[in-house]
Amino acid sequence: MAAERAGGAGQPGATRGERGGGGRRRALPFRAAAFDLVVSRHPVRTDWPEVARVLRPGGTFLSQQIGPGTVRELSEAILGPLPPPEHRHPEHAVAAARAAGLTVVDLREATLRTVFHDIGAVVWFLRKVVWTVPGFTVAAHLPALRRLHDRIRVEGPFVAHARRFLIEARA
């Protein structure tokens, strides 16, 4: 395994970087200062202190993350109006990285068009990207899907916007 090749696996108490039982964080299974580069794409959460711990001095963390309110237009088409997004703001990531002792050297934001030409594409997307409409099923959301289907037939493709940010930080 990669962890074993990196020399960190098998250390007492070393486990994966997700929350364990009781919601407490566990250490990544790597020794301190093990990497020159750590990359992450679309993390559920970033454990900034652990990233800082496993990076060598001068090492780089590079991550593309989901931004606030990504494809919100689709979520609201199915669920109705939603409160403003509270999570995944780039400025929160910058503050957390700095609090962990990292230096943020670059932050880039992007808004990308996500186009749905038919309701089948919407259903497929919602089944794959489960956090867009939590608990999504066709049966439970049939009235909203019919409304969106009619809208697409009359107005043309439905457009939502995926929000992303790229953060680069150094130890």
CA nearest neighbour of 115 among 72, 158, 66, 146: 158
What is the C-alpha separation between 138 and 31, in angstroms, rounded?
A: 46
- Is 21 within the bounds of a domain? no
Question: 6 with 36: CB under 8 angstroms?
Answer: no
3-state secondary structure of 53: helix
pLDDT in tens, 131-162: 999 999 999 999 999 999 999 999 999 999 99
CATH at 82 = 3.40.50.150
- Packed helices 142-155 and 72-79: angle between N→C axes, nearest 10 degrees: 120
User: Predicted confidence band at 3 (pLDDT cuts at 50, 70, 90)?
Assistant: very low
- Is 105 within the bounds of a domain? yes
User: Predicted confidence band at 1 (pLDDT cuts at 50, 70, 90)?
Assistant: very low
pLDDT in tens, 11-28: 333 333 333 444 567 889
Query: Is residue 117 scored above 70 in pLDDT?
Result: yes
Residue 23's pLDDT is what?
A: 54
3-state secondary structure of 153: helix
Residue 150's pLDDT is what?
A: 98
- Is 15 within the bounds of a domain? no
How many domains in the chain? 1
The mean per-residue pLDDT over the stretch 24-41 comes to 92
Query: Is residue 48 scored above 90 in pLDDT?
Result: yes
Residue 26's pLDDT is what?
A: 81
pLDDT in tens, 54-110: 999 999 999 999 999 999 999 999 999 999 999 999 999 999 999 999 999 999 999
- Is 17 within the bounds of a domain? no
CA nearest neighbour of 74 among 38, 46, 31, 113: 113
- Is 122 within the bounds of a domain? yes
- Is 20 within the bounds of a domain? no
To the nearest 10°, report the CA torsion of 136, 140, 146, 152.
Answer: -10
What is the C-alpha separation between 85 and 68, in angstroms, rounded?
A: 6
- Is 68 within the bounds of a domain? yes
Residue 24's pLDDT is what?
A: 62
Residue 25's pLDDT is what?
A: 72
Residues spanned by the domain of 58: 32-170
- Is 87 within the bounds of a domain? yes
